[in-house]
Structure 1
């Protein structure tokens, strides 16, 4: 009854595993007794065994709430510097503490692995505490601009020498992106495309940069086209099949400095010698509309945490306000060969013992490990209906045993009173 009552009491405890009392009969005999007529001496509890089948799911709006679908346990530690002293749990209710560490309600640190920020693969299987920084990265000045696009072959030709960024009639198309200086200050970079009215399949490209004071011309160090104000642009030539044949006559596509001695941007103490290198990625000229399928740069400003996602492999992906998506780590998974050998530690946690076998560390969706599901918590695996039935059954058994003892006592009293 105690086991059943404990199961019922923990019906709403996340990650709780029900217990089952297993009994054995008591039998004793001596060399002077007759084995054929000796009866048992009662019953005793052999073991209270936990049942490790999965519980149902409860869905939350917290991406740090995790559950394991399949085999495995989370590992948590009281000291993030002593991760070898850890316990196992299926309770995946985690949150961030004041230092942005992932912890449970007891303040224990969730353990995981370092990952390569570029590939997202585990770089070290040494368990460590997982942290989600609320700020990421130092400002990084833009250096490379990558452009991939299609220029429409049927557009009307114009005179590149008459290009004026303030007059839309002097160019065919324009597109903008944000660039950053060494302090993380943003500027708008605009590219203008003018179809040459002299040479077929040839386009002129001009650039400008915009600061708080307004738009300023951003010339290249070398270029074929120069408008009336001295703004230097470059050429893009195409073959008859629409593929690119020539970019700026083979000269590098490098802009002048952005600062006072170049384009004249107000950079407020940032590196004024910063220049941009333009890279065209297989531009085309087809009889289809203008399409910019790539326009990015490698700069960044300081980013602040905007969102956290955890994928089925347990990879923690943080999105920051500067557009950076960073893989911060991967949740560690642990399993043992004999779950019944685990020692209960309270708070729906278990310790590895000699009977359970050594802890096997790994990652989700690898080998025998299950997958991680974010925004979900595993409920207890208690079947309340069955537990209530077991409680009533135990009560009836107790009453029957009590009545048997009463009858035995009455029979003995009757025998003693015979004269």
Structure 2
């Protein structure tokens, strides 16, 4: 019996060495969680149960528990590298089976799908077709768009000006955009876009009338008038009174490019009249031309954006994180992944930076949680345990030999 007891000690020490060796081997593995060998003592039972003064029968390996503590986050500067700062696992689809990981060293395959180097695809909440948020009721594979961003037709031109309060009526009575003497000030050319992404120039001309605090605005696109002049009035303190909502609707403009009709509105909200000089304080329009994909960026709440050269941002999806009541109950699958088990509890999936889920750190990776110094100490202790149990077997052999030699 004593031989078996010592043999169990040797097996336990060997298991401890194996766990330590595995930890040391994965000291640089992204997202690796340190393991700990846990042991339990053994007792032999008789038909009457466990004797009161029973001597133990050795030790057994009861569990190899992974420690799901937070690893340090190291910046990499690579767009598709992600680290979870807090609770949760990346949700992956591996040939249709759901697996989980803390390693965020993702890459794209030939079809543009984002996944692990082994081919497990990252799961995200897909963007809604109307562009209003994400469909939180399902998850799907994240696929990066490789096509150009389509153009968007301009519909609103925002113009913020300060018109001089002491402006005089122009010398020329008949307005002509080619004659600077027929108008007081102009907005200059503002680039707008038709439905094909072709640029056009929109210009607003301001003409002071003989009435106090009153102006006439003439709007042109590519040198062609788009609507009749519109009256604009200000209060005696310089605030915009008319139009009440600050907007002027221009007549439709039909481009020669074959694009659709360009319907523009001019928004003068925030414009004022005071002082002695004209100021163009701000211009903005809501259209853009076609654009090339510049980069992929990921926000702290896991939203994956495609950013284009035309300034457009397209949300491709939101990273889905999963948590478990008992992470130590997960089954290791290799390649930095785990699978759900009965012991882990049911998975709970949600968006990053909500509830108890952590944030996403883009351009960074979570390092291994292995403390190399600690593991080297564990190795020495396990080695001593192995040697001590081996010495116990040697001692028992000598005692047995002594008994056999009694005459």
* TM interval, short-chain normalised: 0.7 to 0.9
Aligned position for 1:270? 259
Q: Does 1:131 align with 2:137?
A: no
Structure 1 SS opposite 2:46: coil
Question: How many Å separate the matches in 1 of 2:353 and 2:249?
Answer: 46
**5+ unaligned residues in a row in structure 2: which ranges?**
1-16
Aligned with 2:211 (options 195, 199, 209): 199
Aligned position for 1:279? 267
Aligned position for 1:296? 285
Aligned with 1:360 (options 348, 360, 373): 348
Query: 1:7 touches 1:18 (CA, 8 Å); kept in 2?
Result: yes
| Residues 193, 131 of structure 1: alpha-carbon distance in 2 compared, 3 angstrom cutoff | farther
The 5 A counterparts of 1:18-417 are 18-31=34-47, 35=51, 38-79=54-95, 82=96, 85-116=97-128, 121-135=133-147, 137-142=149-154, 144-154=155-165, 156-159=167-170, 161=174, 163-165=176-178, 171-194=184-207, 196=208, 198-209=210-221, 216-223=222-229, 234-247=230-243, 253-255=249-251, 257-259=253-255, 267-271=256-260, 273-287=261-275, 290-297=279-286, 299-417=287-405
1:129-161 Cα deviation digits (max 9, x unpaired): 11221335543433x223241314346435174
Q: How many residues align?
A: 387
Question: How many Å separate the matches in 2 of 1:251 and 1:244?
Answer: 11
**5+ unaligned residues in a row in structure 1: which ranges?**
210-215, 224-233, 260-266
Query: 2:149 touches 2:292 (CA, 8 Å); kept in 1?
Result: no
Query: 2:175 touches 2:182 (CA, 8 Å); kept in 1?
Result: no
Structure 1 SS opposite 2:304: strand
Shift of 1:124: 3.2
| Residues 169, 135 of structure 1: alpha-carbon distance in 2 compared, 3 angstrom cutoff | farther
Query: 1:116 touches 1:327 (CA, 8 Å); kept in 2?
Result: no
Aligned with 1:11 (options 17, 27, 43): 27
- TM-score between both structures, scaled by the size of structure 2: 0.85
Question: How many Å separate the matches in 2 of 1:274 and 1:289?
Answer: 29
Shift of 1:208: 4.1
1:357-383 Cα deviation digits (max 9, x unpaired): 111111112212111111111111111
Question: How many Å separate the matches in 1 of 2:210 and 2:21?
Answer: 91
Bigger Cα displacement from structure 2, 166-175 vs 2-11: 166-175
Shift of 1:119: 7.3
1:298-335 Cα deviation digits (max 9, x unpaired): x3333321222211111112222222122221100111
- TM-score between both structures, scaled by the size of structure 1: 0.83
RMSD: 2.9
